[in-house]
Amino acid sequence: DTEVTQTPKHLVMGMTNKKSLKCEQHMGHRAMYWYKQKAKKPPELMFVYSYEKLSINESVPSRFSPECPNSSLLNLHLHALQPEDSALYLCASSQEGRVSYEQYFGPGTRLTVT
Amino acid sequence: GQQVMQIPQYQHVQEGEDFTTYCNSSTTLSNIQWYKQRPGGHPVFLIQLVKSGEVKKQKRLTFQFGEAKKNSSLHITATQTTDVGTYFCLPFGNEKLTFGTGTRLTIIP
């Protein structure tokens, strides 16, 4: 199984809502990533978990809160988002917990903040 | 970290023509990866280059890593409509993990 799955595919939320994005992989990968991608731009790294520990936080606002419950799951908790946070949120994973390995991306969650 | 520039930003080619995108860094890289993202899709890993001057081929795609490990290129021979998408490089060095700006390829059938 070389698939990374993400739910939901689409999400519309108000600025006062709390929601969560979910990501799952069963490839035994030990590094998992969250990226944000705006239209016609490259993916922007938000967080990296390596062996279930947060190893990189790219100065992301606290309204985004990552969580890695186990080696297969990655969540992104959202609270009090702004309209400019509307984007495609991509999850990825790579083996061995090292960022220089090839990354497998999920299909993404398209988030709209109203 | 400084974003690595890719050129060109956009490329429109007739089907059957060749296509090349370049990824240029101001610093020496340890290695570089290339990804393709189809319209409406997610990035898909294509290749990783590690050695100075390395050249790798995948069917019609040729990837090169410069001798100084500061630049890389992706060349597609005889483009097909399936090649449509945005090609990103992902350089690895001392800077943070940052994708290149990307080159969007469109094909005129």
> pLDDT 10s digit of each residue in chain B, 109 long?
567 889 999 999 999 999 999 999 988 999 999 999 999 999 999 999 999 999 999 999 999 999 999 999 999 999 999 999 999 999 988 667 899 999 999 999 8
Question: Residue B55 pairs with which residues in a beta bridge?
Answer: B64
Q: How far apart are the C-alpha atoms of B46 and A105, rounded to whole Å?
A: 12
pLDDT above 60: residue A108 = yes
Name which of B19, B32, B12 is nearest B100 in CA terms: B32
Q: Which residue blocks in chain B are alpha helix, DSSP H? A: none
Q: How far apart are the C-alpha atoms of B87 and B61, rounded to whole Å?
A: 12
pLDDT by residue (tens digit) across A1-29?
A: 669 999 999 999 999 999 999 999 999 99
Confidence of residue A97 (pLDDT cuts 50, 70, 90): low
For residue A1, the model assigns a pLDDT of 63
Phi, psi of A96 (to 5 degrees): 65, 5
Interchain proximity A102–B33, CB inside 8 Å: yes
Q: How far apart are the C-alpha atoms of B109 and B104, rounded to whole Å?
A: 16
Question: Residue B53 pairs with which residues in a beta bridge?
Answer: none
pLDDT by residue (tens digit) across A26-74?
A: 999 999 999 999 999 999 999 999 999 999 898 999 999 999 999 999 9
Chain B nearest-CA residue for A88: B42
Interchain proximity A104–B102, CB inside 8 Å: no
- CA angle, B72 then B76 then B77, to 5°: 135
> Cβ of A56: how many Cβ atoms within 10 Å?
15
Q: Chain B contact for A42, CB < 8 A?
A: yes
- CA angle, B100 then A98 then B56, to 5°: 55
Confidence of residue A99 (pLDDT cuts 50, 70, 90): low
Cα distances from A95 to residues A19, A98, A100, B68, in angstroms, run 28, 7, 9, 28
3-state secondary structure of A50: strand
